[in-house]
Structure 1
Amino acid sequence: MNAPTLHFTWSPLAQLTPAQVLEMVSARIAVFVVEQNCPYQEVDAYDASALHLFGWQGSALAAYARIIGPNLKFAEPSIGRVMVAHAFRAHQYGRALMQEAIDLTMRTYPGQPIRLSAQSHLQGFYGSLGFVADSPEYLEDGIPHVDMLCRQPRSNP
């Protein structure tokens, strides 16, 4: 049986409700700080200028990513903080989330390549979406990462 479809919404930070901000921050901390046992400053200055993409399963936040414009974090627009909440991982929502993030980035910044900083073990997943590693592996907050660039995004197979 197929998993229920995610409903996507997106907004700049200034247009989110306090409840949406709290849900976003709580979900990101649950995944990136608590689950990955990685204490770091999860909320950062990029949140103020980012587009925040929410993947909803009913009223529950199942997936999230943020899009940062060009010349802020990288020269290219970038996708980051990509996460699927633990309770929803069996549904394979990561691909749907990334396809939506790529589409939103392409609409917002047409004709530009897209960059991301990927946890190294996810290179195959991001590669299946058209991203290619273009940096040596490096540690970010104690986790191996690699920069990846997508010039020609691939459609969802």
Structure 2
Amino acid sequence: MKQSKFMSLVESLVNIAVGFGISVAAQAFFLPLLGVHISLHANLSFALIMTVISIARQFVMRRIFEALHIRRPLSPFMQAVIAERFRQIEVEGWSADHDAKYPAGVLAKAGASYAIHAGDTKGEHLPVYWPWDWEWWKPQGFRRDMVRGTALMIAEGEKFDNERKRGK
């Protein structure tokens, strides 16, 4: 799931504070072992300088990686699909072991049914390829159906990969 801007800020500030504290502690411990004795003020100043350099380095490297497409941000739709797949696993309990019980293609048929009928919220007829009973067919609107359908396709792909690893 996507992290809120506020939580991103909190995470960054905690990360910076922890890094600063580790730097101060490491300098206080290691510099005397090397025969270098500095005051607490000098230690704090040096740790602050190194923290600012670290923040700048991280900012520049992130921009370089994004420019080189090494780290690509996910679109809101992709984030929603990933969140839905995790919801299926964590809330519904549809784990890899659960999915492994279905014959090949069942999850893909369910995903395709949601994608093909996305936005048909009337639900007056069951899709031809829908693999389960009527009670499990729950269309909810175009985008939500596309998200669920894509997450089900991912579940089928994960099932395939898991079976391939096991040599089935």
* TM-score interval (norm. to shorter): under 0.3
Length-normalised TM-score, structure 1? 0.23
Higher relative contact order (CA 8 A, sep 6+): 2
Larger Rg: 2
TM-score by length of 2: 0.22
Structure number with the higher helix fraction is 2
Q: Could you say which structure has the higher strand fraction?
A: 1
